[in-house]
Chain A
Amino acid sequence: MKRKLTELFAQTLMGLSLLVVIGSLALILGTVIWKGLPALNLAMLTQVPKGGYYLGKEGGILNAIVGSLYLAGGATLLAVVVSLPIALFLQLYANRSRWVQFARLSLDLLFGVPSIVYGAFGFTIMLFLGMRASLLGGILTLTLLELPIMVRGMDESIAMVPQALKESAYALGSTRLETSLKVIVRQTAPGLMTAILLAFGRGIGDAASVLFTAGYTDRLPTSLMDPVASLPLAVFFQLGTPFPAVQQRAYASALVLTVIVLLTSLISRGLTKRLEKHIVR
């Protein structure tokens, strides 16, 4: 009897926690949709702001949409190029050494560093180099921001590869590099994809790190050296105005940002499904 009660209690508790999580998600989405949808129209998506991003009630946020996609897309691409070799190295070449343990610890610490610190750091370096706020500066800073989560995500998923699978490849005379690129990457493709996606999500949603490094502008960027707008900052600036009409546009921007994140995760889910069929367990 007592065991049954305990079981019931535990189940109720778990159910409630789940409800809280799902409830808050619904609440967030609901708020964004309810407040943002009325202000969302074709002009919002296809035009740059008229009358300034801070006070303007006309035009759209195309500058921020394009800017955010460039910033997060570029940073994610760069981060993949750097992260995958790091993660493979951590796992396949030097798994147990002290240095590797230290590298993991550092990455975990870096993940905990607030994004404004990345922004400040990027800004300092840019000042030192005589660079102005620009797409390039933003991309590089966001890359730094995305690296820890991406490397650790990839690292964890490569750690799940069974030793016997690696040995199968070694036993056929594969080098470590061949094993990494032809076997491990295929086996862990869904995990790698998740890591990339998490990093992309972190990058596209971050305001603090691009504030000083990418700047903000009403124009679309034409070169890597131009300053560039971003959706989180569009939300931030428009929400800060005293005019309700502009504030509504902030919610519309938030809605667009949310939809972009949801779309990317849906698309990559689909891709992962196709990658999954070869995985051996």
Chain B
Amino acid sequence: MNTKIAIQNLNAYYGKEQALKGIEAQIPAGGITVIVGPSGCGKSTLLRCLNRLLEETNGVRVTGQVLLDGEDIYARKADVTEVRTRVGLLAPKPFPLPMSIYDNVSYGRRIHGLEKLERRNGRSLDRKVEQYLRAAGLWDEVKDRLHDPASGLSTGQQQRLCLARALAVEPEVLLCDEPTSALDPISAQRIEEQLKLLSAETTVVIVSHSLRQARRLADHIIFLWMGNLVESGPSAQMFSAPRDERTRAYLYGDIG
């Protein structure tokens, strides 16, 4: 197993309250890793540690290491914008940027200067925008109104736009925090399909509070419980033969 992200003795604090307690886990390269656990156990906190977005919250402190391809993203010389470019995030609720649909997708490429590269290669930004809107399964619905405000889309469409926007930066890892929680079943299914396809090339990490979704998507599972890591491993093994009592109780619906 090739490790993409190695989490070592990771602690996170909101003020005095400790939300993550000495997490040790590995996220394999490629495939889908799902973080599960009862509400408030620290899933979102853990996820937001992986692209250093957690530190944008007031009063947060993080200690420990997160190795991305063997390099600590919390090291002093690590560049936070580079980390976030390599590790993308899909938030639970879609928040389009205050601009057109087209500009939402091209935003990341423009700030990172990927556009100039494309011109040299004779490829245009338009093609890239189309490519990522297709990848997010949104192209057919918006191709005639690319320059309309993104805020005019439905919630399900906005979430797929946020996916396209994240993909357009070409991240190596995509983090998704309950990516379907704000969506209707059909939009949710679409997002799931896209993530599944995507996981062929990209490492996908999903936070989910739905065990069914975890069963459908996960290649690998991380189970959290009150800020502690209880167990992690291949999905098949976790579902068929959980080692820990708490995992078993959670899986069989006794808690959470």
Q: What is A's interface to B at a CB cutoff of 8 Å?
A: 95-96, 162-175, 178, 182-183, 186-187, 277-281
B53–A167 CB distance below 8 A: yes
A-B CB proximity, top 6 nearest: A173-B85, A171-B89, A172-B108, A187-B98, A173-B84, A278-B98
Taking CB atoms, residues of chain A closer than 8 Å to B99 are: 186, 278
B150–A280 CB distance below 8 A: yes
State the CA gap A39–B149 with chains docked (Å).
49
State the CA gap A171–B99 with chains docked (Å).
17
B81 on interface, CB distance cutoff 8 Å: yes
State the CA gap A191–B107 with chains docked (Å).
23
B100–A278 CB distance below 8 A: yes
Interface string of B45-79 (1 = CB under 8 A from A): 00000010100101000000000000000000000
- Give residues of chain B (119-166) contacting chain A, Cβ–Cβ below 8 Å: 149-151, 162, 165-166
Taking CB atoms, residues of chain A closer than 8 Å to B58 are: 95-96
**Which listed residue (A172, A182, A279) contacts B166, Cβ 8 A?**
A172
B112–A173 CB distance below 8 A: yes
Taking CB atoms, residues of chain A closer than 8 Å to B89 are: 171
Taking CB atoms, residues of chain B closer than 8 Å to A167 are: 53, 56, 91, 95
State the CA gap A279–B96 with chains docked (Å).
9
Taking CB atoms, residues of chain B closer than 8 Å to A170 are: 53, 56, 84
Minimum CB distance partner of A96 in chain B: B58
Residue from the set A168, A170, A175, A182 with the largest chain B CB neighbour count within 10 Å: A168
A277–B149 CB distance below 8 A: yes
B241 on interface, CB distance cutoff 8 Å: no
Residue from the set A163, A174, A187 with the largest chain B CB neighbour count within 10 Å: A174
Minimum CB distance partner of B96 in chain A: A280
**Which listed residue (B51, B82, B96, B149) contacts A171, Cβ 8 A?**
B51
B188 on interface, CB distance cutoff 8 Å: no
A279–B84 CB distance below 8 A: no
**Which listed residue (A96, A164, A182, A187) contacts B111, Cβ 8 A?**
A182
B169 on interface, CB distance cutoff 8 Å: yes
- Give residues of chain B (199-247) contacting chain A, Cβ–Cβ below 8 Å: none
